[in-house]
Amino acid sequence: AQSVTQLDSHVSVSEGTPVLLRCNYSSSYSPSLFWYVQHPNKGLQLLLKYTSAATLVKGINGFEAEFKKSETSFHLTKPSAHMSDAAEYFCVVSPYGSNDYKLSFGAGTTVTVRA
């Protein structure tokens, strides 16, 4: 069994300040973890992925996430928010190495960026 909890349903930041989106997971298998971003009326775009390699993962658009097994966390950060970062973000867990292809999605965190 696996699940994802995104700890904040909404995050508001000022442009140029850091962004932190928190995600905790549980998984019976060694997990693969992903962050997706969804802009309004658009599809989901893969930001970054962790698949049992380096624990600090760098993604697109300046985002990065750190896998912490002891804390079962996979928080997403960006040093300096841009207006274009306003979107909904989903943390996703997949049971890497199993035959179960069902991704477990977090409920999403809506990010607003103030000018």
Partner 1 sequence: DAGITQSPRYKITETGRQVTLMCHQTWSHSYMFWYRQDLGHGLRLIYYSAAADITDKGEVPDGYVVSRSKTENFPLTLESATRSQTSVYFCASGPQGYEQYFGPGTRLTVT
Question: Which residues make up the interface to partner 1 (CB under 8 A)?
Answer: 32, 34, 36, 41-46, 49, 51, 90, 94-96, 99-103, 105, 107-108
Answer yes or no: are the C-beta atoms of 59 and 42 closer than 8 Å: no
Cβ atoms within 10 Å, residue 61: 12
Decide whether 7 or 103 has the Cβ nearer to partner 1.
103
Decide whether 15 or 98 has the Cβ nearer to partner 1.
98
Cβ atoms within 10 Å, residue 34: 25
**Residue closest to 57 by CA, chosen among 42, 70, 68, 72:** 68
> At its nearest, how many Å lie between partner 1 and the CB of residue 112?
18
> At its nearest, how many Å lie between partner 1 and the CB of residue 43?
4
> At its nearest, how many Å lie between partner 1 and the CB of residue 61?
16
Decide whether 41 or 70 has the Cβ nearer to partner 1.
41
Answer yes or no: are the C-beta atoms of 76 and 89 closer than 8 Å: yes
> At its nearest, how many Å lie between partner 1 and the CB of residue 9?
12
Decide whether 13 or 76 has the Cβ nearer to partner 1.
76
Those residues with Cβ within 8 angstroms of residue 44's Cβ, 6 or more apart along the chain or in another chain: 36, 37, 38, 90
